[in-house]
Amino acid sequence: VKDKESLLRRLMESGGEPVSGQMLADEAGVSRTAVWKWVRELEEDGYTVRSIRKKGYVLEASPDRLSPALIRKYLNDDPFVSEIIHFESVGSTMPIAHREAQNGAPNGTVIVAEEQTEGRGRLARPWSSAAGKGIWMSVILKPDIPPHRAPQFTLITAVAICRAIRETADVEARIKWPNDLLVGGCKVTGILTELQADPDRVQAIIIGTGINVNQEPGDFPEELADIATSLRIESGQTVDRAALAASVLRNIGRYSSLYLEEGFAPIKALWEENSDTIGRKVNAVMMRETVTGTAIGITEEGVLEIRTDDGTVRGIYSADIVPAE
């Protein structure tokens, strides 16, 4: 125990048994008053800590927050996550993650915020990130791969989040190439993958995940009312955000390892299984042209293949996909 965050972890790990204040003070090499101050701080953060005379402290209730200690509790001893940095409110978690990655943060560093005031998607589009309603998180990965393979991590993440959503919220999301998860045709998650790279080697991949968790129908801004949904809307139940965040992280770790050990084939199979795009007639809308045809699969590089009406197969690297019929 060295601060309020580690005290919280200690109380969580005790599984409801009182932890003596004296013992905590001895462990930390501080006074009992210092421990008591940390307890007070936790209570200010919304935790309920009961003090039982002669026995010690018991954690009775946790607020709905993505606190590192709570996420760690759900992660158990999963080895993927190295550090979790939590913010109440930030502009966007992406530039913070970039800075951390440049300053040497290791693989598996996580930046998570309760709220983003300037959340963004691709092409600098805004990403609505209301306080306490979703998982607004950036994950730093440092795989030893050439830059052209980095887009595959968007697909790895999509597969990972699909699985986490199924495990934690019992909702079936489908992947819309390249970076959205949909439920009933509405967007429940967006993924933003950014890169720090030398010409031949990736320095860091920053994966931003925006997951709509506990919004109710009226919570979305008007312009999103018809296109966005949340896990709560789809499942009819409040979802434990910390449990979901832990599951997302565990699965990103698991599928990244699978990819680095066995290559893209197993990811491609899982991706196509969960895809909402493959087999559909689509318009791929790009800056300079629109390609219309049937989406037939993705390549090793994560490129979407579309067979046009004249039978040629076009590889699409980056586009917005709109249903063609």
Q: Give the integer Cα–Cα distance in Å for 315 and 302.
A: 10
**Residue 175 interacts with ligand BTX (CB under 6 A)?**
no
**Residue 154 interacts with ligand BTX (CB under 6 A)?**
no
**Residue 38 interacts with ligand BTX (CB under 6 A)?**
no
Q: Give the integer Cα–Cα distance in Å for 307 and 315.
A: 9
**Residue 193 interacts with ligand BTX (CB under 6 A)?**
no
Q: Give the integer Cα–Cα distance in Å for 181 and 275.
A: 9
Closest distance between ligand BTX and the C-beta of residue 230, in Å?
A: 8
Q: 45: which 2 tokens?
A: 């953060």
Between 179 and 256, CB nearer to ligand BTX: 179
Closest distance between ligand BTX and the C-beta of residue 103, in Å?
A: 18
Q: Quick check: helix, strand or coil at residue 318?
A: coil
| Interface stretch with ligand BTX, choices 4-12, 48-56, 117-125, 155-163 (CB under 6 A) | 117-125
Between 212 and 275, CB nearer to ligand BTX: 212
Q: Candidates 10, 65, 187, 232: give the one binding ligand BTX (CB under 6 A).
A: 187
Give Cβ neighbours of residue 243 (< 8 Å, ≥ 6 apart): 74, 168
Closest distance between ligand BTX and the C-beta of residue 183, in Å?
A: 11
Cβ-contact 123, 166 below 8 angstroms? no
**Residue 137 interacts with ligand BTX (CB under 6 A)?**
yes
**Residue 190 interacts with ligand BTX (CB under 6 A)?**
yes
Q: Which residue is nearest to ligand BTX (CB)?
A: 121
Nearest to 93 by CA among 211, 175, 254, 197: 211
| Interface stretch with ligand BTX, choices 1-9, 15-23, 26-34, 204-212 (CB under 6 A) | 204-212
Sites for ligand BTX among residues 86-115 (CB under 6 A) = 92-94
Cβ-contact 155, 205 below 8 angstroms? no
User: Which x/- pattern over 218-257 shows residues binding ligand BTX (rule: CB under 6 A)?
Assistant: ------x--xx-----------------------------
Cβ-contact 88, 77 below 8 angstroms? no
Nearest to 21 by CA among 52, 61, 62: 52
**Residue 275 interacts with ligand BTX (CB under 6 A)?**
no
- 27 burial level (CB within 10 Å; 0-12, 13-18, 19+): middle
Cβ-contact 152, 264 below 8 angstroms? yes
**Residue 138 interacts with ligand BTX (CB under 6 A)?**
yes
**Residue 65 interacts with ligand BTX (CB under 6 A)?**
no
**Residue 116 interacts with ligand BTX (CB under 6 A)?**
yes
* Residue 171 DSSP label: -
* Residue 224 DSSP label: G
Largest CA distance in the chain: 81
Q: Candidates 4, 10, 120, 176: give the one binding ligand BTX (CB under 6 A).
A: 120
Question: Cβ atoms within 10 A of the Cβ of 11, count?
Answer: 26
Between 65 and 187, CB nearer to ligand BTX: 187
Element (H, E) at 50: strand 48-52
- Binding residues vs ligand BTX (CB under 6 A): 92-94, 116, 119-122, 125-129, 136-138, 179-180, 187, 190-192, 208-210, 212, 224, 227-228
